[in-house]
Every structure is written in structure tokens, then in C-alpha cells.
Structure 1
Amino acid sequence: MARYTCSYLVKVQLEQLPLLLDEILHSCGFEIIYQAIGYIMAREIPGKIDFSKLVSVDVFIDATQIQNNQVPLTWVVKSDELPLHHYNHCWQRFNQIQQEIGEHSQWHLVPS
């Protein structure tokens, strides 16, 4: 199973966060399939890639650590694909999500 994680501290109002995360995920070709307080699960939209390579994303929002509108986020990008090559489909999607996070204009990444 391929699995890649990253953590970010973003400056954004908590009320805006679900909409912004949906925008990022949708722009990368993912759809939200489950949403709760502090957690979002999304999956890659089927049809363009083999079923075994489909990627899912878990976003953990640590609301207990919010200070000055700085929200800690942990992203877990995973698939059932065996990561036999470093540049596999899951890794490509992980990089795409990271790039989108860094370029999103509605929030600011906070250096940690």
C-alpha cells in the first residue's frame, strides 16, 4: 500500500476551511465522501485509472491546536497500489495536492 503524509499550518478562519479543502480536493480530481468535525475523507474520481491505483485522501484538522486562526492540518494520501517505483500514481497525486496547497490563494501557509 502506497502512503504519503504531510502536515501544514495554515492561516485561515475555521469556518472557511471545509469549503477551501473541498476546492483544493476538487481541483485535484477528488470528491469528498465523508466529512465530520476535524476529519475529511475524499477519493479520486473513478474512471481514468485502474481501480487498484485509485487514491484516497484523509485530512485531519486539529481544532484543539488552533491559535490566531492558524489551523494544523495533516494530509494522508494513500492507495492500494504497491509502491514498486518511487514515481507511482499515488506519489504523483500526492505531489499534485502539495502543489495545490502551496498555491491556494485563500489561505497562507505558516512556517513552522
Structure 2
Amino acid sequence: MARYSSLFKVATPLESFRQRLGDVLRSCDCDVIYDEDDYMVAREVPGRVTYSRLVTIEVLIDRAFETDEGVQMNVVVKNEELPLSQDNHCRRMFNQLYDAFTTTNRWDLIESIPAV
């Protein structure tokens, strides 16, 4: 199973954070399939790759660091593909999501730590 993770601290109004997060995920061709207070799951839209290569994105929102000014979240990108090479589909999707999270205008990035 391929698995890549990253930690993000972003400055955004809390009341619109979940909507903004969903927008960023959708911009990467992922649909939100589960949404709770401190946890969101998105799945890559089928059609481009086989089902075993479809990526699941888990976003764990750290309530201990949540303030009126910002949010800390741990993002895990994974699929059932064996990471036999450095350039696999899960890694490419992780890079796409990492770029989207760090360059979006939906929030101000405070810190990002790729913990691949």
C-alpha cells in the first residue's frame, strides 16, 4: 500500500474552513465522501486509473491547535498500489495535492511539513 502524509498549518476563518478544504480537494478531482468535525475523507474520481490505484485522502483536523485564526491538519494520501517505483500514481497525486494545499488562495499557508 502506498502512503504519503504531510502536516499543514493554515490561516483561514474557521466558519469557512471546511468549505475551503472541500474546494481544494475538488480542484484535484477528488470528491468528499465523509465529513465530520475533526475528520474528512475524499476519494479520487474514478475514470483515469484502475480502482486499485484510486487515491483516498484522509484529513485529520487537529482540534488542539484550532484557533480563530487558523487550523492545523494532517493529510494522508494512500491507495492499494504497491509503491514499486518512486514515480507511482499515489506519489503523483500526493504531489498534486501538496501543491494545491500550498499554493491555493483559499487560505494563507503558515507552515507545511511533508512527512513522506
TM-score, with length taken from structure 2: 0.92
Structure 1: segments with no counterpart, 5+ residues: none
Q: Within the alignment, does 1:83 sit opposite 2:83 as a pair?
A: yes
Residue identity over aligned pairs, in percent, reads 38
Q: How many residue pairs align between the two structures? A: 112
Alignment match, 2:72 = 72
Kindly report the root-mean-square deviation, in angstroms, between the aligned alpha carbons of the 2 structures: 1.2
> C-alpha deviations, 1:50-91, integer Å up to 9, x for none?
111000000011122123512101100000000000110000
Q: Take 1:93 and 1:74, find their aligned partners in 2: how far apart are those partners? A: 16
Alignment match, 2:47 = 47
Alignment match, 2:2 = 2
Q: What is the Cα deviation at residue 44 of structure 1?
A: 0.5
Q: Take 2:24 and 2:45, find their aligned partners in 1: how far apart are those partners? A: 14
Q: Aligned letter for 2:111? A: P
Alignment match, 1:59 = 59
Q: Take 2:57 and 2:34, find their aligned partners in 1: how far apart are those partners? A: 11
Q: Take 1:109 and 1:103, find their aligned partners in 2: how far apart are those partners? A: 8
Q: Take 2:50 and 2:90, find their aligned partners in 1: how far apart are those partners? A: 12
Structure 2: segments with no counterpart, 5+ residues: none
